[in-house]
Amino acid sequence: MARLVAVAAGGPAGLAAYGVIVTEPRYLRSLVSTVVLAAVVTALTLVIATIAGVFLQRNRFPGRSVLVAMLTFPLAFPGVVVGFMVIMLAGRQGLIGDLTRLVTGERLVFAYSMAGLLTGYLYFSIPRVILTVMAAAEKLDPRLEEAARSLGASSWQVVRDVIVPGLRPAFLSAGAICFATAMGAFGTAFTLATEIEVLPMTIYTEFTLRANIVVAAALSIILGGITWLALALARTAAGSSVAASA
């Protein structure tokens, strides 16, 4: 697989293609906005999934398993379906539009903007990360919390000093995978494609519409490089196999 990508890079213009990416503002802008978007999605997902995941792991109440099932159902949705879900929520006939029209008289439609893309990325990231967080929270030693409490720690201090450090490896691995998936997500962007320039869309456009194969290949390699770097960094920081919990 790696060899094939290398073949792709060895095109006629070779290394010059990389120069184009840095100098051509359109490519650079696409690259930067993709990285920023992926980073924001990762941060938001971690916060949301941690609150929900730890809560679900800690508490037993009627309806809990239904909630877990609901939260993990979208796990297997391809990007296109996720895009369609965003259209259902925030598209021209979407629920949010209906609700905002009732309240303000204006239809709020953001499915086809960066906000829509962010929504879509959150949509497919949350289930994965919740599963990882729940698995990690289950493995936390309850004695550690009891020890902290016996030493006088308040519940907030227990969260800060025991739970969050205990979940750190899960945060790193789930975060890295979340970031990598968001960087390379194509289906969602494709379905919502109107005003959005993210890297996978740029690659697709260059390849199919402009037949600019060399730039497409170079962009792919940069994309792969960034995601690989994110995974490798998280792996080093966690000191164990990130991939194992993908």
Looking only at residues 203 through 242 of this chain, which bind other proteins when binding is defined by CB under 8 A? 203-204, 207, 213, 216-217, 220-221, 223-224, 227-228, 231, 242
Q: Supply the DSSP string of 146-205, one letter for each residue.
A: HHHHHTT--HHHHIIIIIHHHHHHHHHHHHHHHHHHHHH--HHHHHH-SS---HHHHHHI
Shortest distance, position 118 Cβ to other proteins, whole Å: 12
Contact positions with other proteins (CB under 8 A) in 112-141 = 122-123, 126-127, 141
- Contact region with other proteins (CB under 8 A), list: 15-23, 25-33, 100-108, 201-209: 201-209
Q: For residue 241, what are its two tokens?
A: 């196999």
Nearer to other proteins, 28 or 67 (CB): 67
Give the Cα separation of 9 and 3 in Å (integer). 10
Largest Cα–Cα distance of the chain, in whole Å? 68
CB of 185 to other proteins, least distance (A): 8
Size of the site for other proteins (CB under 8 A): 89
Burial of 237 (0-12, 13-18, 19+ CB in 10 A): middle
> For the window 73-92, what string marks contact with other proteins as x by the rule CB under 8 A?
xxxxxxxxx-xxxxxxx---
Q: Amino acid identity of 230? A: A
Task: Restricting to residues 153-192, name those near other proteins by CB under 8 A.
Answer: 153-155, 157, 161-162, 165-166, 168, 177, 180-181, 183-187, 190-191
Cβ burial of 23 (10 Å; 0-12, 13-18, 19+) is exposed
Q: CB–CB of 220/8 below 8 Å? A: yes
Minimum distance from residue 23 beta carbon to other proteins (Å)? 22
Q: Which stretch binds other proteins (CB under 8 A): 18-26, 35-43, 68-76, 102-110?
A: 68-76
